[in-house]
Structure 1
Amino acid sequence: MKTGPIQVVEAAGKVSKESSSRRSVSRGLSILDFILRVLAAVGTLTSAIAMGTTKQTLPFVTRFVRFKAVYKDLPTFTVFVIANSIACGYLVLSLTVSFLHIVKYKAINSRIVLIVFDLVVMGVLTGGASAAAAMVNLAHDGNTIANWFPICTQFNSFCQRISGSLIGSFLAIILFMLLIILSSLVISRR
């Protein structure tokens, strides 16, 4: 059976359509990667700002004696702010590489490097957020065995802000997980 020029052109057209659809899917995944990085950067930035500006002062019997709650009083919250700041800085820097993936969709080595750094930064962020979550739980519930009383009964505004700050950080952790899965998916398609 002979193959004519029409069959060769049809086969070339199929290959061209497949590579075009593969290119558009890769570009779409790269755009999604960029958007997820922007959202995670916003989440970590707002968490760091919310925790870093949290303080509340309660008046006592006189105006000279006051009780004050500041995030710096608990070193765990300081670590939380530092971890979120590191994650936000990394995400802002990684936006340039993510934008290059939109333009040059075949880049694989830079995607592997991003996956490694995403995992490391996600670990730092998870450690800081988990430690802060334990302290927030202690602030809300206290510990009767150690005679630590819950401070959230007096410092309502303080506790609301630190709890809200945790939400943004844990959302960023979920976005990091999605970024790692997405980058792995793009690499496995190659």
Structure 2
Amino acid sequence: MDKAEATTVDIGESSKERKGKAPLLSTPPPPPIAKAKVAVGGYKKGVAIFNLILRISAVATSIGAVATMANAEETLPFFTQFFQFQASYDDLPTFTFFVVAMSFVLGYLILSIPFGIVCIARPYAKAPKMLLIISDTVMLVLATSTTAASTAMVYLAHNGNPNANWQAICNQFTDFCQQSSGAVVSAFITVALLIFMVVLSAIALKRT
């Protein structure tokens, strides 16, 4: 009887000890800080992906602006013995500056694509974002200045200026005016995309 009672007591104590222990296979839930960090990381990666899409779109619009303006040329079918009526983008320094400046913007946007990919792979890295936001701002100023100047020239080509005795030329050089106007519109789209990219980069840096 003594042995049986001892055995019973041992079994009871062991069962109580097992009840007090936590299951070996259970894992503790992640702390709230880790969940917040994962959420912020996903947000930053989403912003970086959207920024890259805007950057590629800006490359396309910049190509359209440069190619259209560089091919803006028209020769009228009538000419005299000494004069041939022709209009080309390089006849106007403003349009020449437009082609050069937008070419710089285009080259920068192409070179900045790898940095945009780095921002996606490393959403918490500050250096690539800071470099992009500074460079994007510089290119935004360059694109805005040349687009504004070219817009003024396109307006004069369409409407002229009676006070300065400048005649509108778009009544004769219709193709040239359409091409130059299309290039300016593409440049304005590039400017808008650059603005969005700067804003997105600033938001991503703020939440770092």
Q: What's the TM-score, normalizing by structure 2?
A: 0.83
Is the contact made by 1:59 and 1:65 (CA closer than 8 Å) also made in structure 2?
no
Question: Which residue of structure 1 lines up, in the alignment, with residue 28 of structure 2?
Answer: 9
The residue identity in structure 2 corresponding to 1:184 is: A
Choose 1 or 2 for highest CA Rg.
2
Q: Which residue of 2 aligns with 1:96?
A: 114
1:9 & 1:29 partners in 2: Cα distance?
A: 32
**Alignment RMSD:** 1.8
Say whether the 8 Å CA contact 2:147–2:184 is kept in structure 1.
yes
Dislocated runs of 4+, deviation >6 Å: none
Letter in 2 for 1:60: F
Structure 2 unaligned blocks of 5 or more? 1-21
Gaps of 5+ in 1: none
Shift of 1:114: 1.0
Counterpart mapping for 1:97-116 below 5 A: 97-116=115-134
Please tell me whether the aligned partners of residues 79 and 85 of structure 2 are also in contact (alpha carbons under 8 angstroms): no
Letter in 1 for 2:165: N
The CA deviation string for residues 70-90 of structure 1, in whole angstroms up to 9 with x for no partner, is 000001000001111000100
Instruction: Among all aligned residue pairs of Structure 1 and Structure 2, give the percentage whose two residues are the same amino acid.
Output: 36
Secondary structure in 2 aligned to 1:67? strand
Q: How does 1:1-150 map to 2 (within 5 A)?
A: 9-10=28-29, 12-60=30-78, 65-150=83-168
Instruction: Count how many residue pairs are aligned between Structure 1 and Structure 2.
Output: 184
Structure 1 length as normaliser, TM-score?
0.91
Corresponding letter in the other structure for 2:103 = S
Shift of 1:9: 3.3
Q: CA deviation at 1:109?
A: 1.8
Amino acid at match of 2:28: V
Other structure's SS at 1:145 match = helix
Kept in 2, the 8 Å contact 1:69–1:158? The answer is: yes
